[in-house]
Structure 1
Amino acid sequence: MRAGDRLVVETVRRGGPWPGVLAVTTLAGAAGELALPYVMGRAVDALVTAQPGAVSWLIGCAGVTAVVALCESFGVWARGASGAHAAARLRRGILRHVLGVGQAMTRRFPAGELVTRAGLNAEETARAPEAVAGTLGLLVPTLGALVALTLIDPLLTLALGVGLVLILLVLRSFLRVTTTMAGDYQQVQGEIAARLLDALEGARTIASAGTGAEEARRILGPLPRLRAHGLRMWRANATAGVQAGLVVPLLEVAVLAVGGFLLAAGELTVGELYAAARYAVLGAALSTSLGYLGGLARARSAAGRLADVLAVPSGPHGGRALPAGSGTVEFRGVSAPGLSVGDLVIPGGTVTAVVGRSGSGKSLLSALAARLAEPDRGTVLLDGVPLAELDRAALRRAVSCAFERPVLVGDTIGEAIGLGLDDDSGVPAAARAARADTFIRRLPDGYATSLALTPLSGGERQRIGLARAFARGERLLVLDDATSSLDTITERQVGRALTAESHGRTRLVVAHRLATAARADLVVWLEDGVVRAQGPHHELWADPCYRAVFGVEES
């Protein structure tokens, strides 16, 4: 069984109470539809022969009809509730996995693709319970009709069975073809979403270049392919509908013809012939399952896209806690795509600057230290414990990060700084260390100011991101170009705070400015993805190639 099909089965199985309610209402409604021809047939016979029980049979017809209508009403409600519950569960699972995997996920899938899969594709997969229940709801009357016709006369069953085989062949081909077509359609949807999200992120650049029309054409470039896939699905649905539709009247005529001969031979009553005709209609109703099968096909292809996301492995976490220590980071034989660290020790409690030209692997080294990326070979340890063996909560308490473009999460400024903290009493002190406290207190509600309604400059966002990092990270603080948007004076103030206020933790700083490297206790110099040298800045400064990293040429 494919991963997508397993996810469809899991969605149906773990859909909470609603798939059960949907199944009960569907089966009860199907049972009512099966019972109705029999009850109506008995009523017809009672009226024709003037039997005294005719009124009772007519009341029974009304009762069965009411049950069918009630089941249909509850079924509509259950279908909506089932889809909403399943979609919410799928979205939560996808989001947790995407956020848990981190950079490995965004390297594999564009952001627009992930949004499409977690949104639209999750919703399509969530319709699987409805599609399965609807298909079974049509299958039950079909099987019941075969049994009922067998009880009336086996020749009627044979006539219905031949037609049903033809209908099943049509439905099987439709499901297989439509699943492939739906996958192609959803793939193009994701491609358009990825292009749109890229354009939105670069909206200022596009506006300044005056290339809005060209960018719109680029985003909508896949539309002809989307239209072609949509037309293919429509044609497949129409073709299957016509094929099944041609079989249905022939099937009903065949059952009525056989029933007519049996009536003429005195082997059927008028009521039994009427019931046989109704059962033929119920049996042929399987041809109307194209809509449900189309939904199931879309759910299968969408589930396959979700399964691709879930297949991206997240780094395993152990259950170990950190022993007492000062935040010593060790790289033992570590390498990753584009970076070879080898053996490297960053002493606890020190400030270590990582320098190098663009593309030398500085951000990747910092990501490995914070376990935001996994090495291909080797082990990264914090105070003697491999990062992969640490409990997830212990790891995130011990290590905090700040980035060049921080994403601020939370309803207020204070929540953005204290993200994930049980005690936010240290938020003001962290903001002061990041030189953010002064401008935050000038806001209308200070730390309680709404984040969504507060326009922030790039430097202010970076300072809030720095404050968020300062508020956490009991052992290791990783700053990946996190001061690039600060003015010179603020950068110096933050740099002094970073070097002076260690609070017993190691600080690993990706540095582009000479002053940052000069203030560090240790410098790790990367060149072409390899650690070229490490040592104090004043010792490395004797190498002209090192000076060239900062744009200082020989006179």
Structure 2
Amino acid sequence: MKFPRRGAPGSRAAAPTGHGLLRGAVRHSAGRTAAVLCCSAASAGAALAVPAALGRALDLLLDSGGGSGSSGSGFDGGSGSARCWLLVCGALIVAVVLLDALEALLSGVTSARSTAWLRGRGLAGLLGAAPEHGARLPPGELATRLSANATEAGTAPVSAAALAASLLAPAGAVIALFLIDFWTAVAFLAGIPVLLLVLRAFARDTSDSAARYQRVQADLASRLVEVLDGARTVAAAGTAERERDRILAPLPELAVQGRRMWRVHGRAVARGGVLLPLLTTGVLAVGGVALAAGRISVGDLLAASRYAALAAGVGAGAGLLGSLVRSRSAARRTAALAALPPLAYGTGRLPEAGPGALDLRGVRVVRDGRTLLDGVDLSVPGGVSVAVVGRSGAGKSTLAAVAGRLTDPDEGRVLLDGVPLASLARGELRREVGYAFERPVLFGDTIGAALAAGAEPASAARVRSAARAASADAFVRLLPRGYDTPPAEAPLSGGELQRLGLARAFAHAGRLLILDDATSSLDTVTERQVERALARDITPGTRLVVAHRLSSAARADLVVWLEEGRIRAVGPHPELWRVPAYRAVFAPPGEHSEPNEPTEKGR
């Protein structure tokens, strides 16, 4: 399925509200929704015609019977017209049944397609934004918004069409009452203001309870996914019962909100169940008076009773109204994903055969009120290997994300070979900037397909060459189906998974390759083999390596030393090693420099 395109950079069309998203879903399904409305309207029209035809047939039968003087001769003489009207009634009833069946089929298709469109919008917004935006929501919350909430919101076009159509029959019935006898219509309309107040209270209370229900539902899903991710930890700690109780803790609140929705619906139905029969009874009473006065016939009274019942169907719209209210609440949650600020791209291109020179100028990054990078100025010559070191929380991964434009700085600019990253086309940027992460995830039907996936798919030969460079080829060949093994069927250790992540990055290496702690699970020998292959076999370019190991920093051409979001020093490892504070970066927790070691000021 193709994702719907988002608006241009900075366009608010790319950030719809819940109402806007629902309007978009209606426009997307306009043809099918119109077909549903037409079927519903035609069914309502046929249903409206039935009482009139039935009343006409009854009047003809009574007239025919009275004129013959014999009850048995009522079907001779003028009863032919009555039979015709009875046949019309039968045809109209068959039409109602067929139209309702067609409406049900079209409604299912329309809701499914609207749901798919809404999910596409939400997913496009999530994947088109910087990764940290999606990371703010738990996976269970995201799954709920893209599944259950999108499904409920997807029923909105059909519910709106059905609600509009459901008002046609009552409106037509009221008009018919006016045509039969003015006062029968007045008797019915007298109770409409009360009915509107009931529906208004129903919509208000349903909106609040539905929103609360959906929030609790998402909380439940988030807890479940969280525990499933940590299943080994739960098993090792022996806390399965405690985690089960924690997962199920929101259930009482879910039950409270579910019962509240049913109570709201029940109150509306009960009130309508009292009011609408009273209105119908009032219509019959006024019609009886009109019959006694000779203003209407017996057939007219029968038709009036049927039209009063149809007009009372306005109360049935409460269910459709409740569905629309729940759809609106669900759409707000899905719209929050579609409204994530997009990581906009330009149309620029990099100079051909550039060395991969990287420049950060006055870069500042603030997330959730915390400054992660502040005033970072860095110039990295093309073709060198740079290690980024610092204590935990120093901003290493943030620097790596900014350097390859997985996120944009709040201030400052990042340039690759003199071209601002924000001005580059998406394909151009992703072809030339490769990433490997600490915890890679493999997407694809097979391991080979997962390694080949990128802005430009890599050839099978390049994938295997990259796997050899990452010391992954040997164990991949030992898998049941080699490179054709599905990732879910491959029993991979943490180190093997990291090597596959490196292989994927090597297969798409351009002028800048960023390794964000991508070798932390490798043993020293394998790490050294990977580094040698990287220097010898992979496309030359600039390497930016987030490093925690001393050996990684020692083998880099340059070291960028970060401290509290600022660059403390840049230089070759041997020079920085003379500084005790730099050595302390690699010291195990609790260890400190010797008292007699020279300080940075005393060098």
Query: Structure 2 regions of 5+ residues with no counterpart?
Result: 1-15, 65-77, 367-371, 595-603
Alignment of 1:131-146 (within 5 A): 131-146=159-174
Alignment of 1:72-111 (within 5 A): 72-111=100-139
Give SS of 2:519's match.
coil
Of 376-385 and 182-191, the range deviating more from structure 2: 376-385
**CA–CA distance in structure 2, aligned partners of residues 285 and 518 of structure 1:** 80
Query: CA offsets, 1:321-377, max 9 Å, x none?
Result: 222212111111111122224221122111111000111111111011111122111
Corresponding residue for residue 523 of structure 2? 487
**CA–CA distance in structure 1, aligned partners of residues 235 and 375 of structure 2:** 42
Question: Are residue 475 (structure 1) and residue 511 (structure 2) matched?
Answer: yes
Corresponding residue for residue 360 of structure 1? 394
Question: Are residue 525 (structure 1) and residue 561 (structure 2) matched?
Answer: yes
Equivalent position to 2:543, from 504, 507, 530: 507
Letter in 1 for 2:334: L
Of 55-64 and 545-554, the range deviating more from structure 2: 545-554
Call closer, same or farther: CA 1:486–1:293 in 2, change over 3 Å. same
**CA–CA distance in structure 1, aligned partners of residues 250 and 102 of structure 2:** 41
**CA–CA distance in structure 2, aligned partners of residues 417 and 146 of structure 1:** 67
Corresponding residue for residue 22 of structure 2? 8
Residue 169 of structure 1 and its aligned partner are, at CA, apart by 2.0
Question: Are residue 181 (structure 1) and residue 216 (structure 2) matched?
Answer: no
**CA–CA distance in structure 1, aligned partners of residues 550 and 268 of structure 2:** 70
**CA–CA distance in structure 2, aligned partners of residues 89 and 506 of structure 1:** 41
**CA–CA distance in structure 2, aligned partners of residues 16 and 460 of structure 1:** 50
Identity of aligned residues (%): 50
Corresponding residue for residue 241 of structure 1? 269
Residue 96 of structure 1 and its aligned partner are, at CA, apart by 2.1
Query: CA offsets, 1:520-548, max 9 Å, x none?
Result: 11111011121111111111111111111
TM-score (norm 2): 0.89
TM-score (norm 1): 0.97
Query: CA offsets, 1:50-89, max 9 Å, x none?
Result: 2441111011001111110001111111121111111111
Corresponding residue for residue 497 of structure 1? 533
Kept in 2, the 8 Å contact 1:479–1:509? The answer is: yes
Give SS of 1:49's match.
helix
Equivalent position to 1:32, from 28, 46, 50: 46
Query: CA offsets, 1:380-434, max 9 Å, x none?
Result: 1222222221111211111111111111100111011001333424111111111
Letter in 1 for 2:289: F
Equivalent position to 1:464, from 474, 497, 500: 500
Residue 165 of structure 1 and its aligned partner are, at CA, apart by 2.7
Corresponding residue for residue 300 of structure 2? 272
Letter in 1 for 2:22: V
Kept in 2, the 8 Å contact 1:164–1:284? The answer is: no
**CA–CA distance in structure 1, aligned partners of residues 230 and 31 of structure 2:** 45
**CA–CA distance in structure 2, aligned partners of residues 104 and 392 of structure 1:** 18
Kept in 1, the 8 Å contact 2:124–2:338? The answer is: no
Question: Are residue 326 (structure 1) and residue 355 (structure 2) matched?
Answer: yes
**CA–CA distance in structure 2, aligned partners of residues 171 and 219 of structure 1:** 36
Equivalent position to 2:33, from 19, 33, 40: 19
Kept in 2, the 8 Å contact 1:16–1:85? The answer is: no
**CA–CA distance in structure 2, aligned partners of residues 349 and 34 of structure 1:** 80
Equivalent position to 2:488, from 439, 444, 452: 452
Of 93-102 and 505-514, the range deviating more from structure 2: 93-102
The CA RMSD over aligned residues, in Å, is 1.5
Instruction: Say how many residue pairs are matched.
Output: 554
Kept in 2, the 8 Å contact 1:396–1:473? The answer is: no
Equivalent position to 1:303, from 309, 316, 331: 331
Kept in 2, the 8 Å contact 1:326–1:505? The answer is: yes
**CA–CA distance in structure 2, aligned partners of residues 175 and 348 of structure 1:** 63
Corresponding residue for residue 58 of structure 1? 86
**CA–CA distance in structure 2, aligned partners of residues 419 and 43 of structure 1:** 72
Query: Structure 1 regions of 5+ residues with no counterpart?
Result: none
Kept in 1, the 8 Å contact 2:458–2:508? The answer is: no
Letter in 1 for 2:250: P
Equivalent position to 2:385, from 351, 362, 365: 351
Give SS of 1:312's match.
coil
